[in-house]
Amino acid sequence: MAMFVHLTPAANAPRVRRSGIRAISHGRDDSLPRGLYCFPVLPSYTLTHQWLRELSRRSGPRGLVAVHIRLPDDESVTLGRYHRAPATVTAAEAVRRVAALPDPRGWEVFVPRAVTKREVHRIRAVSQVTGWRYFPDSNGKVPCTCFGCRVRGEYGSQRLRQRRPHPLDGPPPASAVLVRQIAAAGSPGDPEQLVQTLHWFGMRRRGPVDRLAHLADHPDPKVRRALVWAVENWSSRGATELRHRLSQDPDATVREAVEWTSPEPRS
C-alpha cells in the first residue's frame, strides 16, 4: 500500500473521519473525473508537507491538518509538477518517482476519485509554517500583482497592489470614476473605451448593475462579452437577472461567455 498525505482545512476533519475525503478538485487532465490532490509521504517532514504554507493562504482561521491515506499500489493516479501536463502512473510508481527526484518541491499527485473512510490512515496536526509560498524559491523575487495571481482578502495584499500596481490589473479606479467613463462614452458608445472600462469593473465583487444594464443592448458583441466578464462574480442586486438576460443573447460568443462564467458545475 502506498502512503500519501492530503492537506485539508481543520474544519473538515470530523467529516473526513466520518466518511472519507470527497472528490471536489479538478485535475490538470480535463478528461479525468473530479478527485483530490495529495503528496507521497517522504522521510523529510518539510518535503512531505511542502504545500502547506501555500494552501494555508486559503485555508480558513483554524489552519490545515494532514490526512494520511493508504492507496493500493496499482491505483491509477496522475503525477506532475504544478502547471505542467501530468503523467498517468500507479500509486507505487508515483511514490518511487517523487522519492528519486533531486528536488520534489512543486510536484503533486492527483487521485481521480473520492477516498473512503477505510483508506484514511490517520489525521494529524501539522506546523502551519512548513513549506514554500507562491512557488518554490520565491524568496527574494518580486510577487506578481496581476488579477490571476493575487488572493483577495489576503493580509497585506491591498498595500502590495498599491505599492506595485500592475499595468493591466490595477488597483482599479473608483466605481464612481468608472461610471462617469461609461457615461462619457456616449450612446451607444465607443466599443474600445467601454471594453477597457468594463475590464476594471470585473475586478470588483459588487457594482452598479443599473448603470451598466443598458450595455446588454450594445450593437457590438465584444462589449456584451466584456459585460459578461465584468459582472460574473458580482453579488449585487440584479446581477443574476443581467447574466440571465445575456444568456439569451443572439450572438453565440456572448452566450458561450455566460456559460463559461456560470457558477454551476460544467460536465
Distance CA 72, CA 105 (A): 24
Q: Is the pLDDT of residue 185 over 70?
A: yes
Cell numbers standing for residue 201: 469593473
**Cα–Cα distances in angstroms (integers) from residue 202 to residues 33, 89, 110, 119, 236, in the given order:** 30, 40, 32, 43, 13
Q: What is the DSSP letter of 121?
A: E
Residue 152: per-residue pLDDT: 61
Q: Which residue has the cell 473520492?
A: 114
Could you state, in order of their start, the residue ranges of all structural domains in the chain? 2-125, 143-172, 175-261
Residue 145: per-residue pLDDT: 73
Lowest mean pLDDT among 82-86, 155-159, 212-216, 254-258: 155-159
Distance CA 8, CA 38 (A): 10
Run of H or E residues at 40: strand 36-40
Distance CA 134, CA 62 (A): 20
| β-bridge partners, 2 | 71
Q: Each residue of 194-231: pLDDT tens digit? A: 999 998 898 888 899 999 999 999 999 999 999 999 99
Distance CA 25, CA 111 (A): 10
Which residues are within 8 A (CB) of 58 and not within 5 positions of it... i.e. 6 or more apart? 151
Q: Is the pLDDT of residue 261 over 80?
A: no
Which residues are within 8 A (CB) of 239 and not within 5 positions of it... i.e. 6 or more apart? 207, 209, 231
Q: Each residue of 53-96: pLDDT tens digit? A: 889 877 677 889 999 999 999 999 999 998 888 999 999 999 99
* CATH architecture assignment, domain 2-125: Alpha-Beta Barrel (3.20)
Q: CB neighbours (10 Å) of residue 107?
A: 22
**Cα–Cα distances in angstroms (integers) from residue 225 to residues 192, 198, 229, in the given order:** 12, 10, 7
Q: Which residue has the cell 458545475?
A: 265
Average pLDDT over residues 130-144: 78
Secondary structure (3-state) at 236: coil
Spell out the alpha helix ranges (H) of the chain.
13-19, 45-48, 52-55, 91-100, 157-163, 175-184, 191-201, 209-212, 221-231, 239-247, 252-261
